[in-house]
Amino acid sequence: MQAVDDPTAVRVLFLVPGLGWNLGVQAMAAAVREIAGLLELVPGVGLAFTATDWPPLFDPAETGRALIDVETRAVDFRIGVDYTTLPAAS
């Protein structure tokens, strides 16, 4: 919010709708990912017993960059994962 050159009134007025918009985008992206996973389930079970080495439809969340990425001893929090940018070569 601080990097945008909008007036203060615009920043204040669009804060709540912006949060709602971002939440909706994340929710729909999660729904699309769930549907894609369900669509891959049936062929995946059939392919489980064959010797194929096909790449996954989406990049694994563990290798993508995230808007919020906090690693703790108990659990890793990754919110806003970027599935489109390729991870950096390690």
pLDDT in tens, 24-63: 999 999 999 999 999 989 888 887 788 767 776 666 667 7
pTM (2 decimals)?
0.44
Show the domain range for 5. Answer: 1-50
Same domain? For 17 and 36 the reply is yes
CA distance 75 to 78: 10
Do 46 and 60 lie in one domain? The reply is no
Q: Does 89 map to a domain? A: no
> CA angle, 15 as apex, 14 and 17 as ends, to 5°?
65
- In-domain check, residue 1: yes
Does residue 73 lie in a domain region?
yes
Question: Residues 45, 61: one domain?
Answer: no
Do 42 and 68 share a domain, yes or no?
no
**Distances from the Cα of 59 to the Cα of 9, 19, 20, 33, 55, angstroms:** 39, 26, 26, 11, 9
